[in-house]
Amino acid sequence: MVLLPLESNPDVMNKFIHLLGVPTKWNIVDVYGLDNDALAWVPRPVLAIILLFPCSEKFYDYAKQESESLKEAGQEVSTNLFYMKQYVSNACGSIALIHSIANNVDRINLEEGVFKKLLEAAKGKTPEERGEMLAKPGNDANSEAFKLISAHQELAMEGQTEANPNEQVNHHFVAFVEKDGNLYELDGRKDFPINHGTTSQETFLEDAAKVCRNFMERDSEDINFTIMALTASDS
């Protein structure tokens, strides 16, 4: 299955998450810079950071080295962390949103809808089995996976740029969340979540910004990075 890619457009992403059961209090907003002055403008609390970055050879080389290093050294991963694999081409935008929401359900208070039912169905499943839920949604229009994929396709067509599912996409979305005192990078194409060290709800935005800066420094000749935050429109 190949989907149309979601655009890094907060308006489109907000339609998507609100349609599927996220209360309108919570919204995706642009993060216009990673210095302290720019971060000060981001509404709090921030529940997740979503990074869109170029898929360069430097990225793939670093990801391979990072994976091998972590497999050898091991890392702490919270048993409360929600993680799913990506098996559907161009689904990274939706999976980044799922990761952002699923790891904050205690704060978001989801309404009845697709996200809530999908996360209920995903309980107890492995990351691979969760990925298969979207990869094989079936033809049942009432299934939550089918509804999510349909919403993705519909809203991907609302983006400002013309979408073509057969055109190679050279950018990728990942999500960053805080869970049980650690900062996690959630990328469904990697072997596992990446623990970037300790953080807190209060320092999460600044800590995630440091990791995003590392992505940008590794590909310093490319300016095609976009950063967004899942945040509250009011406290």
Give the residue numbers annotated as catalytic, written as ranges: 92, 172
CB 204 within 8 A of CB 75: no
Q: How many CB atoms lie within 10 A of CB 229?
A: 26
CB 163 within 8 A of CB 156: yes
Contacts of 143 (CB under 8 A, 6+ apart): 137
Burial class (CB in 10 A: 0-12, 13-18, 19+), 184: buried
User: Does residue 43 sit in helix, strand or coil?
Assistant: coil
| CA separation for the pair 109, 161 (Å, rounded) | 33
User: Does residue 173 sit in helix, strand or coil?
Assistant: strand
CB 205 within 8 A of CB 49: yes
CB 213 within 8 A of CB 53: no
| CA separation for the pair 26, 196 (Å, rounded) | 25
21: left (phi over 0), alpha (psi -120 to 50) or beta: left
| CA separation for the pair 21, 102 (Å, rounded) | 12
